[in-house]
Amino acid sequence: MAKLFDKTKGSSLGSGKIMPPGSLLDQALLGTLARYRRSVASSYSPIGLDDLSSVFAAAGKGEVFLSEKLDGELWFLVLQDKEAFLANSRGCVIHGKLPFLTKAQGIAKKTGDQLAIFAGEFYATSAAGKDRPRTADLSAALAGGKGKADQLYFAVFDIVELHTEDEDLTTYGAKLEKLTGMFGEGE
Query: Per the domain annotation, does 169 fall within a domain?
Result: yes
Give the three-state DSSP class for 179: helix
Query: Per the domain annotation, does 151 fall within a domain?
Result: yes
Query: Per the domain annotation, does 57 fall within a domain?
Result: no
Query: Per the domain annotation, does 53 fall within a domain?
Result: no
Which of 84, 93, 95, 74 shows the shortest CA–CA distance to 26? Answer: 93
User: What pLDDT is attached to residue 57?
Assistant: 77
- Average pLDDT across the chain, whole number: 84
CATH of the domain at 86: 3.30.470.30
Query: Per the domain annotation, does 49 fall within a domain?
Result: no
pLDDT tens-digit readout, 58-107: 777 677 776 777 788 999 999 988 889 999 999 999 999 998 898 888 88
Query: Per the domain annotation, does 105 fall within a domain?
Result: yes
Domain range for 171 is: 11-39+67-183
Which pLDDT band, with edges at 50, 70 and 90, does 143 fall under? confident
Domains contained in the chain, number: 1
Q: How far apart are CA 142 and CA 125, in angstroms?
A: 12
Query: Per the domain annotation, does 44 fall within a domain?
Result: no
Query: Per the domain annotation, does 27 fall within a domain?
Result: yes
Q: How far apart are CA 51 and CA 144, in angstroms?
A: 38
